A = this chain, B = another copy of it.
Amino acid sequence: MADNLDLVTSSDPLHPSQLIPELCQLFYQLGWTTGTGGGVSIRVDNLVYIAPSGIQKERIIPLDLFVMELSTSRVLRAPPAPATPSSCTPLFFNSYRLRNAGACIHTHSPHAVLATLVYSGPTFTIRNQEMIKGIRQGTTGRGLQNHDTLVVPIIENAPREDQLTDAMAAAMAAHPDTCAVLVRRHGVFVWGATWEQTKVMTECYDYLFDMAVRMRHLGLDPAA
A173 at the interface (CB under 8 A from B): no
Complex contacts, A186 vs chain B, CB 8 Å: 129-130, 146
Asked if residues A36 and B117 are in contact (CB atoms below 8 Å), the reply is: no
List which A196-217 residues lie within 8 A (CB) of chain B: 196, 199-201, 203-204, 206-207, 210-211, 213-217
Number of A residues near B (Cβ < 8 Å) is 42
Residue with the greatest number of chain B CB neighbours at <10 A, chosen from A35, A187, A203? A35
26 A-B residue pairs with Cβ-Cβ distance under 8 Å, sorted by A, are: A34-B203, A34-B206, A35-B200, A35-B201, A35-B204, A36-B134, A37-B131, A37-B204, A56-B199, A108-B131, A110-B210, A114-B214, A114-B218, A117-B218, A117-B220, A118-B218, A118-B220, A128-B157, A129-B185, A129-B186, A130-B157, A130-B183, A146-B185, A146-B186, A213-B218, A216-B218
A145 at the interface (CB under 8 A from B): yes
Q: A36-B134, A117-B220, A128-B157 are in contact. List 14 more A-B contacts (CB 8 A).
A: A35-B131, A35-B134, A35-B201, A36-B200, A37-B130, A108-B131, A113-B211, A114-B214, A117-B218, A128-B185, A129-B186, A130-B157, A130-B183, A145-B159
Complex contacts, A206 vs chain B, CB 8 Å: 34
Residue with the greatest number of chain B CB neighbours at <10 A, chosen from A130, A145, A210? A130
Question: In chain B, what residue has the closest Cβ to A29?
Answer: B29
Complex contacts, A204 vs chain B, CB 8 Å: 34-35, 37
A142 at the interface (CB under 8 A from B): no
Residue with the greatest number of chain B CB neighbours at <10 A, chosen from A207, A210, A213, A217? A207
Q: Count identical subunits in the complex.
A: 4
A74 at the interface (CB under 8 A from B): no
A147 at the interface (CB under 8 A from B): yes
The answer for the CA separation of A217 and B213 in the assembled complex, in Å, is 12
